[in-house]
């Protein structure tokens, strides 16, 4: 198993096919990354939402507790 190209720029150029191969690689990596990052961001958002719900309920409870 050996490095197939003369140097790094050779790898980028890939004998003329470079733009196609690297476009495919970049788009793939971008989509894969997004498919992982998106749920992580959503999780953060959902947790924040639920925390707000909880605090709102607490306030309501405290308020009704005091008025009684």
Partner 1 sequence: MNWNWFYRMGSPRWFYESTSRWLPWFGALTVLLLVSGLVWGLAFAPQDAKQGNSFRIIYLHVPASFLALAGYFLMAAAGAIGLIWKMKLSYMVMKCAAPLGAVLTFLALFTGAVWGKPTWGSYWVWDARVTSMLILLFLYMGVLALQYAFDSKDVANKASAILALVGTVNIPIIYKSVDWWFTLHQPATIRFTEAPSMHPDMFQPLLVMILGFYCFYAVALILSVRVEILSRERKTSWVRSLVKQATHNSLGAE
Task: Point out which residues bind partner 1 (CB under 8 A).
Answer: 1-5, 11, 14-18, 20-21, 23-25, 27-28, 31-32, 35-36, 39-40, 42-43, 46-47, 49-51, 53-54
* 11 CB-near residues (< 8 Å, 6+ apart): 4, 5, 18
Residue 44 CB, shortest distance to partner 1, in Å, is 9
> Would you say 5 or 63 has its CB closer to partner 1?
5
Nearer to partner 1, 39 or 63 (CB): 39
Separation between Cα atoms, residue 59 and residue 61, nearest integer Å: 5
Q: How far apart are CA 61 and CA 3, in angstroms?
A: 68
């Amino acid at each position: 198993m050996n490095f197939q190209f003369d140097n790094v720029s050779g790898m980028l150029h890939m004998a003329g096919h470079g733009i196609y191969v690297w476009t495919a690689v970049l788009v793939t990596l971008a989509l894969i990354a997004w498919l992982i990052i998106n749920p992580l961001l959503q999780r953060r958002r959902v947790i924040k939402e639920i925390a707000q719900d909880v605090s709102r309920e607490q306030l309501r409870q405290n308020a009704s507790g005091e008025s009684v």
